[in-house]
Each structure stands twice: as structure tokens, then as C-alpha cells.
Amino acid sequence: MDNPEQPQIYLITPPSLDLASFPDTLARVLDGADVACLRLAMAGSDEDQISRTADALREVAHARDIALVISDHVLLAQRLGLDGVHLNDASKSVRHARKELGSDAIVGSFCNNSSHEGMNAGEAGADYVSFGPVGTSNLGDGSIADSDLFQWWSDVVEVPVVAEGGLTTDLINTLAPRTDFFGLGEEIWSTEDPLATLKTLITAMT
């Protein structure tokens, strides 16, 4: 994932989804907005269900030249031909994932609100670091990643950074000069028209 001047959109799937309808909804969103990357972030550990979902979403994403990464499942990322993995244990698994997936794979690391873990993840070979939640969210342990963290990171560190969790138009407007990507998931999927909601949030960047 590149480090652009204006933040790009990094979509995150719902924790549970209807495989009969979600790929079509996703396709509509991807066709209507500029999306840099998609993360499959399913809850649970049903390997068959996760694999079937990954296959379906990979087809949608790759048809549009959009990378698909999966949360935590390094072996599945490898076996299913996905573009990489998003790790939720901060810097702990980055070296292992990089070794397993190779230099071309995307390896990302969620570091809650810890700049120290973020630095460790970057040094271990992460392609990007994700901080959050930035607003009210069930993500992480309830602590907030504030705008000062993103400002410091953008001033000091070259590794691209993702802001995610509890994003609102106001937060996006505040963080746009300080982050490389916005990780958007529940913010759009929980609404009646995900694409319209996404476009509203994108507009808030400026």
C-alpha cells in the first residue's frame, strides 16, 4: 500500500456477513468509490466459512485490482492466494508473518494507541501500522488513539498509518492531514446505503 498525500480508503468487512448478498453490495461500493485495500475481518474460526467468504471477496476485489488482506489468519492468506494479513497482536507476529508470506505480501499491524508497538511493528517489517479506535468503538481495549498520536507519527515515522474505529465526519476532517488511510467498516455497513455513506465520509476529508 502506497503512502499518498491525501488519505485513501481501506475498507473492512463486517464481522459477520451474508455471502448471498454481501459480494454484490461490496462490488457496488468498490465501483462507486476509490478504495485502496479490503480487509476480511470475520469473527469466529470456522475455516470453511472464512475460506468460502475469502474466495468470493477475492474475486470481487481482484477484478477491480484491489488488494485483499485477512485478519490474523496467516496460513489461510497463503493458501487462498490473498494479498496479505492484518495482525491484531501489535508487533508480536509481524516477523513470523513476513517470513511465511514473503516480501511481496502486505503485512499490517494493529497497535491500538501505542506508538511504541507501532515502532516495533515497523522495525519488524510491517507495511503499515493501524491505530484506533479514534472514536467510540468496541475496537481494542476501549482506549482512544487521539489526533496527537497521528500527528507525531506522520512527523516522525515513514511507515504508512491507518486510522480506524468509530470514525465520524468530524474525526475524518481532523485526521485527514495526519493519516495515510482511513479504515472504514461498521461506519458504512451498518447504514442503509453503504456507498452513499462512504461518499459522505470521503467528502469530509476536505
The pLDDT tens digits for 22-38 are 999 999 999 999 999 99
Q: State which residues form the domain around 82.
A: 8-203
How far is residue 75's CA from residue 126's CA, in Å, rounded to a whole number?
A: 17
Q: Considering the chain, what percentage of its residues have pLDDT values greater than 90? A: 92
Query: Could you give the C-alpha distances from 129 to 11, 80, 112, 124, 206, in angstroms and in order?
Result: 15, 23, 10, 11, 23
Residues 111-121 have pLDDT tens digits of 999 999 999 99
CATH of the domain at 118: 3.20.20.70
- The answer to whether residue 184 is domain-embedded is yes
Does 68 reside within a domain?
yes
Please check whether residue 7 is in contact with residue 182, taking contact to mean a CB–CB distance below 8 angstroms: yes
Q: Is 23 inside a domain boundary?
A: yes
CB 9 within 8 A of CB 181: yes
Query: Per-residue pLDDT tens for 6-21?
Result: 899 999 999 999 999 9
Is residue 2 over pLDDT 60? no
What's the rounded mean pLDDT across residues 61-87?
Answer: 97
What distances in angstroms separate CA 172 from CA 5, 85, 206, one per listed residue? Answer: 15, 25, 9
In a domain, 1, yes or no: no
The total domain count for the chain is 1
Across the chain, mean pLDDT equals 95
| CA triple 161-117-44, angle to 5 deg | 80
Quote the pLDDT of residue 139.
Answer: 67
In this structure, is residue 3 part of a structural domain? Answer: no
pLDDT band at 142 (very low <50, low <70, confident <90, very high): confident
152 within some domain: yes
Indicate the DSSP class of residue 65: T
Cell of 39: 480487509
Query: For residues 44 and 201, which has the higher predicted lDDT (pLDDT)?
Result: 201
